[in-house]
A and B are shown apart, each in its own frame.
Chain A
Amino acid sequence: MNRHLDRAGLVVVAVVGLGLLFGLPHVLELFSLLGAILYVSSAILAVSLGLIWGFGGILCFGQAAFFGLGAYTYALAAINLGESTWPFLLSIIVPAAAAAVLGYVMFYGRLSDVYVGVMTLVFTLILYRFLGHTAGAQYRIGNAPLGGFNGIPGVPTLNMPGDPGDILGPEEVWYLSMGILLIVYFGLRWLLASKFGRVVVAIRENELRTELIGYDVRFYKLIVFAIGAGIAGVAGCLFVNWNAFVDPNVFSLGKTAQILIWVLVGGIGTLIGPIIGAVGLEYLTTLLGTQRTVDPNLVMGTILVVFVLFIPRGLVHAVVAILRWFWTSATAPRR
């Protein structure tokens, strides 16, 4: 029954995903389509933490750091290079490399979960404080001033690979973003079903036992951490493309909290949960932004507390539990 539900879920995701990919540009106006691109970027970011936290069992309070690194890397490289193919690739490579170094320090230092959380948080804050301080003219990389809290304006948009003159329009960026989300989702489904993925999940379940069987736990954690960071980097690249602007607030505590809430509300230990959480809560945030009586933080904080206390495994698990209950009561023999 579990397998049925799982396979049905996969088909539903594929159909809905492809439907959105090809259907949405025909349904939505240009402005709404731009909004949808932002939602997709958030969804990719949420999936990246969903992988690291939900499957790797690594409590990462620094996903915003990798997102921000991706955004900054793309912005700086695109301004300097004048085209977008390498900047796009670099926005994956740089965060993944940063995560590999940080992961080496943490996992090969055998830090346990809470300390990993604090370490990643500190890493994010170092970037936040440092980039906030780079307002002076001496802080520049190539042609691109870092700009401190004023950020970097006028970031070039993505262009067709190899043809810097052919800039992607909103529709093409939509196909790219949604395409990446689908590739990431199904790629990770495949990865988690592979031997590598099974070892990663085994480590989450019982680290000591996995190590005693003979797997190098540190190495697996490092790799999954770096993969997650690379995915967060792509999300950052898409975000800065959408925004044409990046400032140190991508590294703020608020951003980190937001990503954690998406994943927790959607469902830890699933890939679709974080996507649902990100899209749903981004929508809620937009709604809250249109009124002035209640501060959005108040609502987000309440949601987080309520979920930790009452629905700690998130919406997807809750819905699955309800479905299962219906299934068993429908198939159970009647008395």
Chain B
Amino acid sequence: MDLAVVNLIDVLYSIANLALISIGLAIIFGMMRVINLAHGEFLMLGGYTAIIATQNGINIWISMLIVAPIVVGAIGIVVERLVIRFLYGRMIDTMLATWGLSLFFIGLVTTIFGAKTEGISAPLGYFEIGQYKYADYKIFIIVFAVALLIAIYLLLRYTRAGLIARGTMQGADVAAGLGINTSTVYAVTFTAGAALTGLEGALIAPLNAIIPSLGSQFIAKSVITVIGGGGAFLTGTVSASTLFGGISQLVSIESSPVFGEVALLIGAVVLLRMLPTGITGRFFRRSL
């Protein structure tokens, strides 16, 4: 019984984790049809920022929740203005250019910090479920993911900024005709996506060894979650994370984490074969 509870929380954590590492990418893809292959490196940069800030005496919560998103968001602005904005509408070229950025950031961080592992210990303690101990921090991740997704929904649904964003997403030409500067909207969206990704990278930092090539562990999972989710990015991310995170964790419990990951990838291939435009290409089409 206790084991079942632990497994259930593990599945929830796996889903929340997948949603967290994907949402920044999903926002950028949903709004601008840009697949940012440097996404994994934004996570990595967020992780490094949090660790370095913490090592320099800043409170771990402040460095994770405030410093990391600001730093990575700033990198996002620079990247958008220097590279991405020239490539809107050229989906394949943006993929190649962001792949180049990904290599660039890996190389940059390796040059500065060396190819060694950094880490911080997770804040918060443990609680007990029968004979099992469970990290509070994982519960925090689950709660945080839910809160973040709700916040994004409310922002898009009920604020003027959200209205402009949704309008630009549905019809950039019409939005431009109504006097919206879509270039600014894109820049802001990309920055917001990058900042969120930095935040998520910081949040997963205590649970992972942070190395320059960290991003390559996450990029494929994030991309297939976003692609599998389809056009309506919020619903898509939630449904695809639930599906893929669930499959992956259940298989992991039965065999090993590596096969869990292989199961996730195979699940993605099957899903894309059946629903080539992702889950929200077929279901929940009118959702956000």
* A residues at B contact (CB < 8 Å): 59, 105-106, 109-115, 117-119, 121-123, 125-126, 129-130, 132-133, 252-254, 257, 260-261, 264, 293-305, 308-309, 312
Q: List 29 A-B contacts (CB under 8 A).
A: A111-B276, A114-B35, A117-B92, A118-B227, A123-B269, A126-B262, A126-B266, A126-B269, A129-B258, A129-B261, A129-B262, A130-B258, A253-B220, A254-B216, A257-B99, A260-B96, A295-B110, A297-B104, A300-B100, A300-B103, A301-B105, A301-B107, A303-B100, A304-B97, A304-B99, A308-B87, A308-B96, A308-B97, A312-B93
Known: A118-B224, A125-B265, A293-B111. A257 touches B258 (CB 8 A): no
Q: Smallest CB-CB separation from A305: which chain B residue? A: B100
Distance A59 CA – B91 CA, assembled complex (angstroms): 11
Known contacts A133-B258, A300-B107, A308-B97; decide if A114 and B265 are in contact (CB<8 Å): no
CB A285 to nearest CB in B, in angstroms, measures 12
Given the interface contacts A122-B265, A122-B268, A301-B104, does A114 sit within 8 Å of B99 by beta carbon?
A: no
A305 and B83 within 8 A (CB): yes
Contact B220 A304 (CB under 8 A): no
Greatest chain A CB density within 10 A among B87, B100, B110 is at B100
Partner of B111, one of A253, A254, A295: A295
Interface residue total, chain B, C-beta cutoff 8 A = 40
Q: A105-B269, A125-B265, A305-B101 are in contact. Are A298 and B216 (CB under 8 A)?
A: no
Find out whether the CB atom of B227 lies under 8 angstroms from the CB atom of A297: no
**In the complex, what residue of chain A is closest to B102 when comparing beta carbons?**
A301
Given contacts A111-B272, A133-B256, A308-B97, contact A59 B107 (CB under 8 A): no
**A contact residues around B100 at 8 Å (CB):** 261, 300-305, 308
Least CB distance from A254 to B in Å reads: 8
Cα distance, A112 to B92, chains bound together (Å): 12
A301's contact among B101, B272, B276, by CB below 8 Å, is which? Answer: B101
**Chain B residue at minimum C-beta to C-beta distance from A264:** B96
B110 closest partner in A (C-beta): A295
Min Cβ gap A265→B in Å is 11
Name which residue of chain B comes closest to A130, CB basis.
Answer: B262
Complexed CA–CA distance, A308 and B266 (Å): 31
Other contacts beyond A114-B95, A133-B258, A254-B216: 7, CB < 8 A:
A111-B272, A118-B224, A119-B269, A129-B261, A129-B262, A133-B262, A301-B106
- Across the two chains, which residue of chain A brings its CB closest to B91? A114
Given B106, B259, B265, which contacts A133 in the complex, CB threshold below 8 Å?
B259
Contact present for B107 and A305 (CB under 8 Å): no
